[in-house]
A = this chain, B = another copy of it.
Amino acid sequence: DVVVPARALISVFYKDGVVELAQYLSSLGCEILSTGGTAKKMREAGLIVKDVSEHTMSPECLDGRVKTLHPKIHGGLLAVRGNEQHEKDMVDNEIGVIDITILNLYPFEATVAKGSAFEECVENIDIGGPSMLRSTAKNHAFTTIVTDPSQYGELMETMKANGGGTTLAMRKRFAARAFATSAAYDSAIASYFAAQLDTNAPVAARVYKPEYSLKYGCNPQQKPAGISSILGHPLPFSVVNGKPGYINLLDAANAWQLVKELKEATGLAAATSFKHVSPAGAALAVPLTATECKAFEITEEDAAKLTPGALAYIRARNADPMCSFGDFAAISDVVDEDTAMYLKKEVSDGIIAAGYTPEALEILKSKKKGNFIVLEATPNFVPPSMEYREVFGMAFSQKRNDIIVSNDHLTKTVTKAAVTDDVKRDMILGCITLKYTQSNSVGFCKNGQMIGVGAGQQSRVDCVKLAGRKVATFSLRQHEQVLGLQFKAGVKRQDRVNARVRYIEGDFTAEERVRWEANFDEVPAPLTAETKAAYMDALNGVILSSDAFFPFRDGIDHASKVGVSFVVQPGGSVADASIIECCDEYGMGMCMTGVRLFHH
C-alpha cells in the first residue's frame, strides 16, 4: 500500500508552501518535474528541477499548449506498477514513472470575475492540468494527486509516518477530492458558457459545496441531508450556536429575507416568528399601547425601555402566540440583552439576526440546555439571480423574486376612500410578509403588526376566512373580559395564552371544559357571541393584503366583518371593477400594486 515516490510533477498556481513540500520530496531522492513559474520559484530556492519538456524530449511548440499532453507524462502516471507488459512498455518507450502530481487549477470563476472578455476567459481554460489531475486520480492505487495547498501538511505527515511513502487510504481520499475539483472546474465553465449563450443554453450545471451535514431532511427517513453553498458564493448565514435542522434552515432563509427587506423598505427594525416556512407573525418596531402591553403580558415600564428589535419581535410573537410556540425568530437588527432575555422566556427553536451583543449571545447560548440555534446573517449577501429546485426528478428554474414592495408600488389608489402614509407603511409590511408566506395567502395588519396571516390555502376566500378568524382572536385578546381573566397561581405562560384563546373561541367539548376551568379559582363568565360580535363590529383600521388578485368579491365581503378599512393587492383580475365597487360599498381604501407575490 505504501508508495515512496521516485518522481513528482509539480505545477501550481498558488505557490504558498510548494517550496517546503518540494524540499521534503527532494530529500527523499524524488526527482522533481516542473514548468514555468513553479520551476523558477523552486530553482530560486536551490532545488534541482527538471523541465517537463526536457523529460518528454519534445520541443516546445504551440505556445506550450500540448506540453504535458504526452505519452511520457500520462504513461508515467497511468502505468500499472508491477504489470509485466506495462513495465516492459515503459522501458521500450522510455517512460519513467511519475508517482505524485501536485497541481492546482486557477479558478475559472476568478477569470470571469475579473471582467475578462469571452476570448480571454476561454484562453484561460486549463487543458493540461485537468488531464494530469484525472490520470493521477484514476491510478491512485499507485499515484498521489494533490490539488490544494491545504493538503500539503497531511501529505507530509502521512509520508513521514510511513517511511517517506504515501498510503492507499490517503491517495484514495485525495483522488476523490481531485475528481470533485475537476467537476467543479468544468461546471463553472459550463455555467459561464450557458450564461454567454443566453437563450440557447444547452445545459446548466450547478455546483454545490457541502457546508453542513444535517441529521436528516424534512423527515427522519430522509437521510442523508445537508446544506451546501453555491460554489463561489458564501453561505448566507453562519451557525453561532446549536445544530439547525432542515426545516429550521428553510424557516431561517425565508424569515431573514422578510425582516431584511422590511427594514430596507420602511427604515424600521423588523422581526418575524416562523413556523413551517410561513410566518405566524411579523412586525415593525412600533411602540405598544397600554392595552397591548396588558394583552402581551409586558409592563408599560419594561415596554418603554425596549430596543427597536425587541419591540418588533414582541409584536411578531404576539400576533398568534399559540402558533409561535417553538418558532424560529428573525430580527433585522443586532440582538441585545433585552431581546435575548425576552426570547429566553419563550419556547422557541432558534433565531437568525444581523448580529448579537456578547451579553445577548451568552443568554441565548444557555437556552434549551445549550441547544438553542443561533444564526448570524452574512452581511451584504447577494444570492445568484437564478434559482433551481428539483421536484420529482426534474429541475424548476426561475429568476429570484427580487422586487421589494415599497411606496413606489402604492401610488395607485383605486377607491373613493383615500390611503394615508401610515397605512402605506403597514401595506408594505403586509406585502413583504406575504412575499415569504406559502401561497395562496392573505394577511391582516394594524399598528405595524401582522395580526392574522392566512397561509397555504386552495382558494382566496379560504385565506380570508382563515386569517380573519385569527384577527378576531387577536383583537378579542384585548377585550376587557379577556384581559381580566384571573388565573390560578402557578399557571404557566403558554397555558395562559392557550386558555385565553379557548375562552375566546368558546367551543369546548365537555372534557375540554373541565380541564379549562381548572386554570381558574373561580370559573369566568363566558364571552358571549353577542359580546364578541359587538366588539368586532367596533373594530376598524385593519389592512388586508393579498398575494394575488381577488377573483370574486367574496373575500372582501368576509374581510368587512373583521374591521378592514384598507386593502392592498396586485389587481389584474377581470373582476377588478366589481372588487373596487365592493370596496366602495364598504368604504374601504384600496391600492393596486401590480406586483403578484406567489411564493412556493
Contacts and interface: CB of A to CB of B under 8 A. Distances in A.
Contacts of A85: 63
A534 interface: no
B560 A456 contact: no
B78 A66 contact: yes
Interface stretch (A2-10, A43-51, A294-302, A383-391): A383-391
Contact of A458 (B173, B276, B459, B557): B276
A381 B226 CA distance: 25
Contacts of A394: 211, 227-230, 235-236, 253, 383
A334 interface: no
B203 A276 contact: no
Contact of A457 (B119, B382, B456, B511): B456
Residue in A211, A246, A391 whose Cβ sees the most chain B Cβ within 10 Å: A391
Please classify the interface of chain A as helix (H, G, I), strand (E, B), loop, or mixed, using the class held by over half of its residues: mixed
A438 interface: yes
Number of copies: 2
Interface in A543-600: 554, 557, 560-561, 582, 585-586, 595-600
A458 B455 CA distance: 9
Interface stretch (A69-77, A336-344, A476-484): A69-77
Contact of A393 (B190, B233, B322): B233
Contacts of A459: 275, 280, 322-323, 325
Interface string A478-507: 000000000000000000001000100001
A193 B386 CA distance: 26
Interface string A428-440: 0000000000111
Interface bin, chain A: 35 or more
A391 B61 contact: no
Given A205-B207, A210-B202, A219 B70 contact: no
A250 to B, nearest CB: 6
B61 A224 contact: no
Interface in A218-277: 218-231, 233, 235-236, 246-247, 249-250, 253-254, 256-257, 275-277
A174 B71 CA distance: 28
A403 B221 contact: yes
Interface stretch (A16-24, A125-133, A520-528): A125-133
A250 B439 CA distance: 12
A374 interface: no
What are the 3 tightest A-B residue pairs by CB atom distance, in nearest-first order?
A456-B456, A217-B398, A383-B393
23 contacts: A58-B71, A65-B79, A69-B135, A127-B134, A173-B197, A176-B194, A180-B190, A180-B205, A187-B205, A187-B207, A203-B207, A203-B210, A214-B398, A217-B401, A218-B401, A219-B401, A253-B394, A257-B392, A280-B459, A322-B461, A387-B391, A388-B390, A509-B557
